[in-house]
């Protein structure tokens, strides 16, 4: 009969078989390297998304800040401040018209050139760039004077709705402030959760007042349209301009578009004159060699006598005109064009003509704020997920290290 197995030997045998079972289980499961690699890849993917959402958040916040600065919006009363900004547009346009006087030499040059090249145009009484000429000569005139060619004896009420709309909004803001003051006196300030930043989603933009405003039905005016100078004005009595005719010219779509057409006409003219210098005078400091030799497949040498024959009797104010002078004229015209077509002027002009455009601007602000908030919330959510995943990975690393140490001990025991 074999001797009985001691308790110590029994424990060793059990540990042996347990170690074999553990080794067999580890051989059938994925390696630690594969598992941690996939987990780390998931974390890196989350980190990339955080970068994307952060970039989008910063972009929308930057665009929103630019929008607010563009219209001098400093607090939660965005609607009132947009209306106040729009009310300053006539003064801005008055200053702009004063600066148009610097284009007088350009207009005189263009007029003299057209009169010389096409005398019939001068004899017919037709004027080039009539809107620009009127603004330079008479200042910021009314639509009445632009349409009829004669200033009104008096100017009545225009169709400008903005003063009434602005007054209503100011009264509304004052009422809101008084109501808020009363509420503050009744609230236990200790129970308030005060936030340091204003939330645009909680701002009362006052869009409910739009229903009380009579919307003006405006017809779309294209840049190629211009005004019908022969149409009869709205007037009462002797030459009193009222309604649309009482508006300042550049405070209307027709007037601005007519001026823009004139500026584009001047730009095209000056460009063509400079091309003539390049083609026929062949200025070494400006024209490339290829430009000096051919134009449209025709020898410039053959055309030069014709060009000079046409221009030899031109008045002194037309020929010769240096390229430096032409460049200076082109820069002045381009500056005037850029000022009247810049984004802020365009928005304010639309706001003055269409009451409903205010709601579009407010909606734009709210949309930018909401997009920025969504991206910020997503960044917070993903950052929390990354922190949680990193914590779980750290815990798993600790557990795996403990298991590896235990495995090492078991393997050493089995060996």
What tens digit of pLDDT does each residue of 76-102 get? 889 999 999 999 999 999 999 999 999
**Is position 347 within any domain?**
yes
**Is position 401 within any domain?**
yes
Q: In this predicted structure, what is the pLDDT of residue 41?
A: 82
Question: Of all helices (H) and strands (E), which one includes residue 235?
Answer: strand 235-236
Residue 229: pLDDT over 60 = no
Out of 72-76, 138-142, 212-216, give the one with best mean pLDDT: 138-142
Q: In this predicted structure, what is the pLDDT of residue 399?
A: 79
Both 260 and 222 in one domain: the answer is yes
**Is position 177 within any domain?**
yes
**Is position 331 within any domain?**
yes
Residue 74: pLDDT over 80 = yes
Whole-number CA gyration radius for the chain: 39
Both 324 and 254 in one domain: the answer is yes
203 vs 55 pLDDT, higher one: 55
List pLDDT tens digits, range 341-356.
999 999 999 999 998 9
Sign of CA dihedral 139, 143, 149, 153: negative
Domain count, the chain: 2
Q: 156 by DSSP, 3-state: which?
A: strand
Both 254 and 342 in one domain: the answer is yes
Both 329 and 410 in one domain: the answer is no
Please compute the mean of the pLDDT values over residues 171-195 and round it to a whole number. Answer: 68
Cα atoms in the 13 Å half-sphere on the side-chain side of 358? 29
Both 252 and 369 in one domain: the answer is no
Both 145 and 277 in one domain: the answer is yes
Q: 243 by DSSP, 3-state: which?
A: strand
Residue 37: CB atoms within 10 A of its CB come to 11
Residue 290: pLDDT over 60 = no
Contact between residue 331 and residue 268 where contact means Cβ atoms under 8 Å apart: no
Both 363 and 345 in one domain: the answer is no
**Is position 1 within any domain?**
no
Q: In this predicted structure, what is the pLDDT of residue 186?
A: 62
Look up residue 189 and give its two tokens. 């300030």
Q: In this predicted structure, what is the pLDDT of residue 158?
A: 85
Q: In this predicted structure, what is the pLDDT of residue 214?
A: 40
Q: In this predicted structure, what is the pLDDT of residue 312?
A: 67
The fraction of the chain above a pLDDT of 90, given in percent, is 38
Both 84 and 212 in one domain: the answer is yes
Both 382 and 319 in one domain: the answer is no
Cα separation, 273 vs 22, whole angstroms: 92
Please compute the mean of the pLDDT values over residues 106-130 and round it to a whole number. Answer: 81
Cα separation, 265 vs 258, whole angstroms: 11
List pLDDT tens digits, range 349-381.
999 999 899 999 999 999 999 999 999 999 999
**Is position 288 within any domain?**
no
Q: In this predicted structure, what is the pLDDT of residue 216?
A: 39
Residue 70: pLDDT over 70 = yes
Both 120 and 235 in one domain: the answer is yes
Residue 236: pLDDT over 60 = no
List pLDDT tens digits, range 7-52.
677 677 777 777 777 666 665 555 556 666 777 788 888 889 999 9
- The contacts of residue 252 (CB under 8 Å, 6+ apart) are 143, 244, 353
Could you say which DSSP state residue 124 is in? T
Domain that holds residue 344: 77-188+199-281+315-355
**Is position 298 within any domain?**
no
Both 176 and 261 in one domain: the answer is yes
Out of 23-27, 262-266, 296-300, give the one with best mean pLDDT: 262-266
Contact between residue 132 and residue 103 where contact means Cβ atoms under 8 Å apart: yes
Both 347 and 382 in one domain: the answer is no
Q: In this predicted structure, what is the pLDDT of residue 26?
A: 60
Model pTM above 0.75: no
Out of 184-198, 239-253, 277-291, give the one with best mean pLDDT: 239-253
**Is position 398 within any domain?**
yes
């Amino acid at each position: 009969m074999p001797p009985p197995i001691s308790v110590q030997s029994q424990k060793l045998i059990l540990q042996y078989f347990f170690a074999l079972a553990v080794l067999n289980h580890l051989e059938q499961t994925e390696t630690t390297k594969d598992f941690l690699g996939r987990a780390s890849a998931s974390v890196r993917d989350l980190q990339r998304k955080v970068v994307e959402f952060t970039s989008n958040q910063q972009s929308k916040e930057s665009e929103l800040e630019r929008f607010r600065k563009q219209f001098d919006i400093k607090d939660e009363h965005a609607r009132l401040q947009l209306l106040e900004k729009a009310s300053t547009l006539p003064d801005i346009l008055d200053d702009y018209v004063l600066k148009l006087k610097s284009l007088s030499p350009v207009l005189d040059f263009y007029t003299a050139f057209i009169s010389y090249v096409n005398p019939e145009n001068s004899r017919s009484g037709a004027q080039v760039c009539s809107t620009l000429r009127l603004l330079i000569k008479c200042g910021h005139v009314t639509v009445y004077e632009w349409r009829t060619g004669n200033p009104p004896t008096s100017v009545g009420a225009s169709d400008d709705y903005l003063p009434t709309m602005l007054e209503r909004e100011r009264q509304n803001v004052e009422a809101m402030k008084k109501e808020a003051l009363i509420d503050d006196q009744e609230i236990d300030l200790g129970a308030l959760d005060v936030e340091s930043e204003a939330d645009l989603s909680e701002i009362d933009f006052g869009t409910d007042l739009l229903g009380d405003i009579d919307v003006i039905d405006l017809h779309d005016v294209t840049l190629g349209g211009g005004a019908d100078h022969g149409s009869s004005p709205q007037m009462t009595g002797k030459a009193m301009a009222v309604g649309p005719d009482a508006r300042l010219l550049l405070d209307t779509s027709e007037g601005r578009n007519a001026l823009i057409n004139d500026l584009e006409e001047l730009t095209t003219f000056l460009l063509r004159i400079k091309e003539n210098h390049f083609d026929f005078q062949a200025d070494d400091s400006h024209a490339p060699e290829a430009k000096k030799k051919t134009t449209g497949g025709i020898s410039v040498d053959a055309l030069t006598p014709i060009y000079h024959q046409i221009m030899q009797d031109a008045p002194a104010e037309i020929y010769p005109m240096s390229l430096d002078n032409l460049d200076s004229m082109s820069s002045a015209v381009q500056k005037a064009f850029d000022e009247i077509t810049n984004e802020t002027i365009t928005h304010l002009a639309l706001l003055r003509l269409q009451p409903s455009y205010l709601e579009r601007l407010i909606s734009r602000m709210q949309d930018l704020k909401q997009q920025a908030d969504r991206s910020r919330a997503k960044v917070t959510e993903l950052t929390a997920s990354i922190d949680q995943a990193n914590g779980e990975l750290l815990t798993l690393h600790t557990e795996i290290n403990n298991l590896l140490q235990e495995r090492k001990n078991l393997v050493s025991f089995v060996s």
